[in-house]
Amino acid sequence: MIRCVRHTAAFFLVLLVALLLNAARVQVLQAGAYDDNPANRRSALARYGRPRGDILVGGNPVTGSRDSGGRLRYERTYRQGPLYAPVTGYASQLYGTSLVEHAEDGILSGTDSRLAPFPLWAELTHGRQPGGRVATTIDPAAQRAAFDGLGGKKGAVAAVEPASGRILALVSTPSYDPGALSGTGSQTTAAWRRLNRDSGRPMVDRALRQTYPPGSVFKVVTAAAALDGGQVTDIDAPTDTPDPYVLPGSSTRLTNEDEAGDCAHATLRYAFRVSCNTVFAHLGVEVGLPGMVRAAERFGFNDDGLKIPVRVARSVFDTEMDRARLALSSIGQYDTAATPLQMAVVAAAVADDGEVRPPYLVDRVLDSRGRTVATASVEPPRQAVRRTTARRLQELMTDVVTSGTGTAAALDGATVGGKTGTAQHGERGEGTPYAWFISWARAQDAARPAVAVAVVVEDAAADRADISGGGSAAPIAREVMRAALR
Amino acid sequence: MTARPARPVDTPPPGPRLPARRGVELALLFGAVLISVLGYIDVGLARQNAVPGGAARYGTGLGVLALLAHLAVRFRAPYADPLLLPIAVLLNGLGLVLIFRLDLETPGDPAAPTQLMWSAIGVALFTAVILLLRDHRTLQRYAYVSVAAALALLIVPIFFPAINGAKIWIRVAGFSFQPGEFAKVLLIVFFAAYLAANRHALAYTGREVWHMQWPTGRVLGPIVAIWLLSVGVLVLERDLGTSLLFFGVFVVLLYVATGRTGWIAVGLLLAAVGAAAVGHLEPHVHGRVHDWLHPFDGIASGRGPSQLAQSLFAFAAGGMLGTGLGEGHSYLIGFAMKSDFILATFGEELGLAGLTALFLLYALLVARGLRAGVALRDPFGRLLAVGLASLPAIQVFVIAGGVMGLIPLTGMAMPFLAQGGSSVVTNWVIVALLLRISDSARAPRPAAAETGVIARTTPGGRTPSGSRSRSGDPSSSNGRTPPAAGREDSGGAGAAP
């Protein structure tokens, strides 16, 4: 009998071992797979179980947390939500995260291993650190100036500091309050539905995620290609361009806007100042497709991987097309498309003697106690165009502001260069054109430019004739530059 | 173990004098209550950054219960195993902490106060058993009363409405309890008594078929009938966990009583056939088996995670060290989180480390119970101890294996841990009986240690006090020792009351 009791005990021991092995399987070996199962709500619960770290602009938080007392407890609040929405994005219990809230989610929610006191700490304890803070490069004054400048109009502004690549302003209008998407109630779902149905598409970040045909502001790139490639050696020598210009291999006659003046055989300086389509279309064809593609890509076009750390939409310059389309592409039409940020980078490269610095939005990452965990890793600049070319382009751009189409951008006490643009869009260009302005400004006593700006206004309500980069967009750029220079 | 030489009649064996160790028990009880109180404090600090008001109340309640139980043991079972009671108090205390913690997730439906009340009733019954039952062999006399009561308890819920698919509840005046829980103990008393009385007949009589000696129907018939009846009723009531439990305990007892490995083979065969049949025919069980094999099917088909999937998520979230008390999200399991699935909360908040400790606590409880049985001389007591110790062993395996995806899920309560009055009360009675048995096993009194009582006479009949035992089975080297080897009994003072 005792032998049998011992056997029974041994049998129970086997059951115990089976339980322990199975527990180890579930809790250790397969834990990762179970944790990552999309039906497992724990990650969302842990995420909202504690206040989210703040996003800082100019050292001050533009976000906050509200204790809702519910399951997904801490809701995100935003100070001046619409103003900073194109920077922060939203952090919603129901709809996830976007923009900086998305790109720096690990830091803000406290899961990033850089926040842990020791390596492997988070892995061992399954714990979360208090959310860290993300300091952006945004200049509140420039942001405010851009937002107020756009006012009720639909459009976007991107501003960067040429010497560093720091993004000083990112504005997209019409905007929205991301705070409306915090929480779990019916108000939140209603806000989501309303914002998605809104014809103004307020949740689209036009500065980063929307591409526009750049129109005449792309002529900066074409001029750079022609100067760098040697197609133009003297900006004051007449170019061999008829007006109208018949696109090569077709019977399409390209003309100029009425106010452009006498563009036939115009010099590059003149053509740039009054924005002759014919001259630049012809120049693009002369440079040739490989040269144009190379020039565009050096400025950052066709780059899929740009992250600031928010992913930026790809700006496009086609790599395969016939010469007629190349001609159109060289004046920023046909398939050429650029984000406002990309065009601000173009202006910045010109202003900073041809050096392109990758733009970045996150300056520093701090833990909850304010200690710096990481700083932005600034990549070395790339030479987009030769220094001499850049100097000539600066000259061309300052001419535009002093005596050309961009006089509305002039600032006292600063050297300002700019380029206007009016971009056709739609199947045959029948839509209301977009007004562009890109510019940069250098304080008179400064060695380097302080700011480069791209403004796009897509104001469907305005009379078509009134839309021009010089009229609608340049004053906005001027106010952003004025704020950034201060 | 070899047979010891028989001693002359009337000479009490010296017997090793075991220390009573009541002081050890008291110290361990203090530790058990302390751990529970620290658990409350931990929950409170995690959830409200404050020591919860319940900490003092529940801690005091648990402490008073532990002290009462200890006093009962100290005065009426002084030689009892000092580990059993502290383990029970610790498990009960941990269960209260977990239920208290889960109550925070269901503010309108607190279960901890009720559980504390049932724990008090359990300890009261525990005390009553310790005080009133002076010798476990008394139970042998009530074997047939037990089985009648057990069957009645099992059958009664058929006349009550089903709750959550199982007709195992009786609901009277706002109180609901599972009579099947109490029936467990009663049936084991009967099985132990019957098998103790008939084990030789079961082992050595009957015809040989397939190289195996089958007992005669006259001996085997009644017990198999009773067992089939109880399992049948449970299957009818859809209480598959308990039917599995009865089956397992029955096979174990049959094996221990007869010493024949064949019973295990027969048992496993029957289990396999029964499981396959039920698994195929019964839609409820079929679903459980499917859920076990494919726990995430519900997610893929858009029905959302099943309880088992949620339970697995909870265990996985715990990892090695757990999230800490109060900091898990096991409430996502929803329904049954405080009862059948309470282990998931344990696993999530205390991790693999805590779970291992918990399993070892149960293992210690079972081992101590089996040990008390081994140390006893009378077959009834030994079978009773083995049966009672097997209950938590099999029950823990079935429910823990079920909620962790090792075996198909069957609804049962984690002993002491889970919410459920009937379960807690029954477990306290089981511990009381094990304590009583261990007291007999460890007591230096010759009478208690040596008097083997045969139940060859009808169970329920009085065993003549001081009479000589015919089947003391002293050596117990194996069950095949012929009954003639029974050794002279010392008889004497403290035999039967």
Rounded to 5 degrees, what are φ and ψ at B78? -65, -20
Q: Which of A216, A275, A329, A468 is catalytic?
A: A216
Between B78 and B262, name the one with better pLDDT. B78
**Cβ <8 Å between A19 and B397:** yes
The tokens describing B140, both together, are 């042998």
Give the number of other Cβ atoms within 10 Å of residue A158's Cβ.
Answer: 32
Q: How far is CA A180 from the centre of its chain?
A: 23
Q: Is A216 a catalytic residue?
A: yes
Q: Which two tokens stand for residue A266?
A: 């115009």
Residue among B296, B355, B367 whose CB faces A37 most closely? B296
* Cβ <8 Å between A42 and B397: no
Gap between the Cα atoms of B290 and B297, Å rounded? 9
β-pairing, A55-57 with A133-136? parallel
Which carries the bigger pLDDT value, residue A182 or residue B493?
A182
Report the predicted TM-score, pTM, of the whole model to 2 decimal places.
Answer: 0.71
Contact B57, B66 (CB under 8 A): no
Q: Nearest by CB to B374, from A2, A19, A24: name it.
A: A2
pLDDT of B275 over the 80 cut = no
**Residue-wise burial string across B401-439, b where 16 or more C-beta atoms lie within 10 A, e elsewhere:** bbbbbbbbbbbbbbbbbbbbbbbbbbbbbbbbbbbbbbb
Cβ neighbours of residue A17 under 8 Å, at least 6 residues apart? none
Contact (CB<8Å) B356/A45: no
User: Considering only alpha carbons, which residue of chain B is nearest residue A12?
Assistant: B393
Interface of A with B (CB under 8 A): 1-9, 11-13, 15-16, 18-20, 22-24, 26-28, 30-35, 37-42, 45-46, 124-127
CB-nearest to B373 from A5, A16, A32 is A5
Cβ-nearest to B379 among A1, A32, A124? A1
Q: Predicted ipTM?
A: 0.84
Q: Find, in chain B, the residue whose alpha carbon is nearest to that of A20.
A: B356
Q: Which residues of A touch B370 (CB under 8 A)?
A: 5, 8-9, 12
pLDDT value at residue A426: 65
Considering only alpha carbons, which residue of chain B is nearest residue A4?
B256
pLDDT at B98 over 80: yes
Q: Which residue has the higher pLDDT, A265 or B365?
A: B365
Q: Which of A311, A377, A370 is nearest to A133 (CA)?
A: A370
Q: Which residues of A touch B188 (CB under 8 A)?
A: none
Contact A188, A72 (CB under 8 A): no
**Reduced 3-state DSSP string for A390-413:** HHHHHHHHHHHHHHCCCHHHCCCC
CB A51 within 8 A of CB A77: no
Chain B residues inside the 8 Å CB shell of A111? none
> Which residues of chain B does A73 touch, with a Cβ-Cβ cutoff of 8 Å?
none
- Closest CA of chain A from B197, distance in Å: 14
Find which of B253, B325, B404 to mutate to test the A interface (most A CBs within 10 Å of its CB). Answer: B404
Cα distance between residue B257 and residue B379, in whole Å: 8
What is the spatial distance between Cα B480 and Cα B487, in angstroms, rounded to a whole number? 15
Q: Give the dihedral sign, CA B71/B75/B77/B80.
A: positive
The helix or strand, by DSSP H or E, that contains position A170, with its residue range, turns out to be: strand A167-173
pLDDT of B207 over the 70 cut? no
- Position B492 confidence tier, pLDDT thresholds 50, 70, 90: very low
Residues on chain A touching B309 (C-beta within 8 angstroms): 37, 39
Contacting residues of A for B332, CB less than 8 Å apart: 41-42
Closest by CA to B96, choosing from B59, B130, B142, B146, is B59
Strand partners, A420: A437
pLDDT tens per residue across all 486 residues of chain A: 888 899 999 999 999 999 999 999 999 999 888 888 888 888 888 788 888 999 999 999 999 988 887 778 889 999 999 999 999 999 988 888 999 999 999 899 888 888 877 777 666 666 668 889 999 999 999 999 999 999 888 999 999 999 999 999 999 989 999 999 988 889 999 999 999 999 889 999 999 999 999 988 999 999 999 999 888 888 888 888 888 888 888 888 888 876 656 888 889 999 998 888 889 999 999 999 999 999 999 999 999 888 888 999 999 999 999 898 999 999 988 889 999 999 999 999 999 999 999 999 999 999 888 888 888 877 888 899 999 999 999 999 999 899 888 888 888 889 999 998 888 776 665 667 888 999 999 998 888 999 999 999 987 555 555 556 777 888 899 999 999 998
| Cβ contact A16–B359 (<8 Å) | yes
Give the pLDDT of residue A429: 58
User: What would the two tokens of residue A317 be?
Assistant: 């310059």
- CA proximity to A259, closest of A234, A236, A247, A277: A277
Please state the three-class secondary structure of B9-22 as a single string.
CCCCCCCCCCCCCH
Does B305 contact A18 at a Cβ distance shorter than 8 Å? no
Nearest to B256 among A1, A19, A37 (CB): A1
Nearest to A331 by CA among A263, A392, A394, A379: A263
